[in-house]
Amino acid sequence: MAKDKPVIDTRKFRAKGGATINLAEWPTLIEPIYRSKEDYHELLADHVARLSDMQRMLYAGDRHALLLIFQAMDAAGKDGVIRHVMSGVNPQGCQVTSFRHPGGSELRHDFFWRVVAALPERGRIGIFNRSYYEDVLIVRIHPDLLRSEGFQPGEGKTLWKERYHSIREFERHLTSNNVHVLKFFLHLSKEEQRKRFLARIDEPEKNWKFSQADIAERAHWDDYMRCYEMCLCETSAENAPWHIVPADDKLSTRLIVSQIILEKMDALKLAYPTVSAERRAELQAIRDQLTW
């Protein structure tokens, strides 16, 4: 285990709901949290081990659920964060669901319809790789998607406010039912995205990750930043906070995200179920039978 583990002040990554957010003022790169690659692996291994322990108590207690939502621009590292941070969690207690922009039959329903069935059960961790937030992000930038949902772009002035309100109420409903929501915006710089796109082109094993659609969405970068700023401001709440996590350094990103999750799970005061005196007596009787 790493010595002199760094203190990660997760509060500085938390977006304040209702406050104006200018993403240009939030860093995409910070001083590395780790001293070396070896130190990073030790720190992450410690986080993963602690997360695994807490997940077992979450599962055994069968009272709380955790919903982790990841949103970001393309190439920000969502898949890598999920893969590395959750690497020690029992697959039986964790489910990852990926959402693209709404399409097909999804456009004929309200924008929560497609995510409700994927919400985690009590005792489990649910992870949304993109989410219902696509309906206030990509749908806002591409009017054709909005029309496909039965709305006209001119309705947007009140529509987006209503959707933000619906999201806040939906997440408040989840919290009141012990589904605890943590939201992560992986804050990537446009220059770092360019480098990662080039790597996806130049390295054959990464070619599958790249498509022409990625470049098309990159052309809307400034529009996306404005939409994210409004979204983060309108929907970060005490019960369901947004964290703006610097994403230019993947290793620090993973350590920050895992620390935030650990702090939330620790706050739930998780514990294994207490065994009653009657149950202990029953177990002792069974033990006596097995010792014959």
Domain of 250: which CATH number? 3.40.50.300
CA 147 to chain centre: 28
Residue 2 lies in a domain: no
Contact 125, 118 (CB under 8 A): no
pLDDT (tens digit, 0 to 9) for every residue of the chain, 292 residues total?
A: 445 778 899 999 999 999 999 999 999 999 999 999 999 999 999 999 999 999 999 999 999 999 999 999 999 999 999 999 999 998 889 999 999 888 888 999 999 999 999 999 999 999 999 999 999 999 999 999 999 999 987 776 799 999 999 999 999 999 999 999 999 999 999 999 999 999 999 888 887 877 888 899 999 999 999 999 999 999 999 999 999 999 999 999 999 999 999 999 999 999 998 877 888 888 888 888 888 6
Residue 171: give the domain boundaries: 10-290
pLDDT computed for residue 157 by the predictor: 73
Tokens at 248, concatenated: 């230019």
CA 79 to chain centre: 10
DSSP annotation of 15? P
DSSP annotation of 203? S
Strand bridging mode 179-187 / 65-72? parallel
DSSP bridge partners of 14? 243
Residue 154 lies in a domain: yes
Strand bridging mode 242-246 / 94-98? unpaired
Tokens at 291, concatenated: 């010792």
pLDDT computed for residue 289 by the predictor: 86
Sheet of 242-246: strand order equals 94-98, 125-129, 65-72, 179-187, 242-246
Burial class from Cβ neighbours inside 10 Å (0-12, 13-18, 19+) for residue 52 reads: middle
φ, ψ for residue 62 (rounded to 5)? 55, 40
φ, ψ for residue 101 (rounded to 5)? -65, 150
Residue 218 lies in a domain: yes
**Residues belonging to the chain:** 292
Residue 67 lies in a domain: yes
pLDDT computed for residue 3 by the predictor: 58
* Residue partners of 153: CB distance under 8 A and separation at least 6: 143, 146, 147
DSSP annotation of 13? G
Residue 1 lies in a domain: no
How many other β-carbons are positioned within 10 Å of the β-carbon of residue 5? 14
How many other β-carbons are positioned within 10 Å of the β-carbon of residue 12? 12
Amino acid at 235: T
Tell me how many domains the chain contains: 1
Task: Give the separation between CA 239 and CA 181, rounded to whole angstroms.
Answer: 7
Task: Give the separation between CA 250 and CA 245, rounded to whole angstroms.
Answer: 10
pLDDT computed for residue 1 by the predictor: 44
Q: Where are the alpha helices (DSSP H) in the chain?
A: 37-61, 78-85, 113-116, 138-141, 143-148, 156-176, 190-202, 212-218, 221-235, 250-267, 277-290
pLDDT computed for residue 2 by the predictor: 44
Residue 259 lies in a domain: yes
* Best CA proximity match to 47, nearest among 84, 10, 90, 4: 84
What pTM was estimated for this model as a whole? 0.93
φ, ψ for residue 178 (rounded to 5)? 65, 25
pLDDT computed for residue 193 by the predictor: 97
Contact 73, 104 (CB under 8 A): no
Residue 72 lies in a domain: yes
Residue 173 lies in a domain: yes
